[in-house]
Amino acid sequence: MAATGVTLEDIGEPLSSTTFVVVDLETTGASPASCEITEIGAVKMRGGEVIGEFQTLVDPGAPIPPMIIALTGITNAMVMAAPRIREVLPAFLEFLGDAVLVAHNARFDVGFLRAACKAHGYAWPAVEVVDTLTLARRVVSKDEAPNRKLGTLARVFGTQVTPNHRALEDARATGEILHGMLERLAAFGITHREDLASLKSPVPPEVRAKSTLADRVPSKPGVYVFRGPDGERLYVGTSKNLRSRVKSYFTKAETRGRIRDMVSLAVSVDTMVCPTALEASVLEVRLIDQWRPRYNRRSAHPERTPWIKLTDEAYPRLVVSRSSASDGTHWGPMRSMSDAQLAIEALQQSLGVRSCRTRLPRQPKPHATACILHDLGACSAPCIKGVDSGYAQTHAQVQQVLNGDVSPVVNALADHVAEFALTEEFERAADLRDRISAVVDGSMRTARLASLAACSIVAVRRVDDGWDVVSVVGGALSGTRRVKSGVWAAADDLRSAQHTLELHSPLVEEQELILAWLEKPGTRLLYVDGTWSSPVAGAGRHRGWVAARRGDREATGQRRGR
* Residues linked to residue 19 through DSSP beta bridges, in sequence order: 46
Q: Describe the chain by its helix, strand, coil percentages, rounded to 5.
A: 45, 20, 40
Classified as helix, coil or strand, 39 is: strand
Burial of 34 (0-12, 13-18, 19+ CB in 10 A): exposed
Is 395 annotated as catalytic?
no
**Under CATH, which number does the domain 15-188 receive?**
3.30.420.10
Cβ-Cβ contacts under 8 Å for 210 (sequence gap 6 or more): 250, 263, 266
435-453 pLDDT, tens digit per residue, is 999 999 988 888 888 888 8
User: Given phi > 0 = left and psi -120 to 50 = alpha, else beta, which region is 352?
Assistant: left
Q: Rounded CA gap, 173 and 163, in Å?
A: 6
CA distances from 43 to 157, 169, 283, 356, 486 (A): 18, 10, 43, 73, 43
Cα angle value 541/543/544 (rounded, 5°) = 140
- Domain 201-300 CATH superfamily: GIY-YIG endonuclease (3.40.1440.10)
Q: Rounded CA gap, 72 and 77, in Å?
A: 14
Q: Rounded CA gap, 77 and 284, in Å?
A: 62
Give the DSSP letter string of 370-394: --HHHHTTS---HHHHGGGG-HHHH
Question: Residue 386: what pLDDT?
Answer: 76
In contact, 254 and 266? CB cutoff 8 Å: no
pTM: 0.58
Cβ-Cβ contacts under 8 Å for 462 (sequence gap 6 or more): 522
At 63, give phi and psi (nearest 5°).
-60, 145
- 472: closest CA among 436, 510, 426? 510
- The residues of the chain scoring below 50 in pLDDT are 1-10, 531-562
C-alpha torsion 531→472→478→562, nearest 10:
80
Q: Rounded CA gap, 105 and 126, in Å?
A: 18
In contact, 413 and 385? CB cutoff 8 Å: no
Question: Residue 544: what pLDDT?
Answer: 35
Question: Residue 301: what pLDDT?
Answer: 73
Question: Residue 325: what pLDDT?
Answer: 60
Q: Rounded CA gap, 181 and 159, in Å?
A: 12
Looking at 104, 120, 165, 499, which residue is catalytic? 165
* Residues linked to residue 268 through DSSP beta bridges, in sequence order: 227
In contact, 436 and 417? CB cutoff 8 Å: yes
Question: Residue 12: what pLDDT?
Answer: 66
Classified as helix, coil or strand, 130 is: strand
- Strands of the sheet containing 100-103, edge to edge, are 49-57, 37-46, 19-27, 100-103, 129-131
At 104, give phi and psi (nearest 5°).
-95, 120
* Domain(s) of CATH 3.30.420.10: residues in the chain: 15-188
* Domain(s) of CATH 3.40.1440.10: residues in the chain: 201-300
Helices (H) and strands (E) in the chain, counts: 20, 16
Classified as helix, coil or strand, 419 is: helix
The distance of Cα 53 from the centroid of its chain, to the nearest Å, equals 35
C-alpha torsion 46→50→56→62, nearest 10:
60
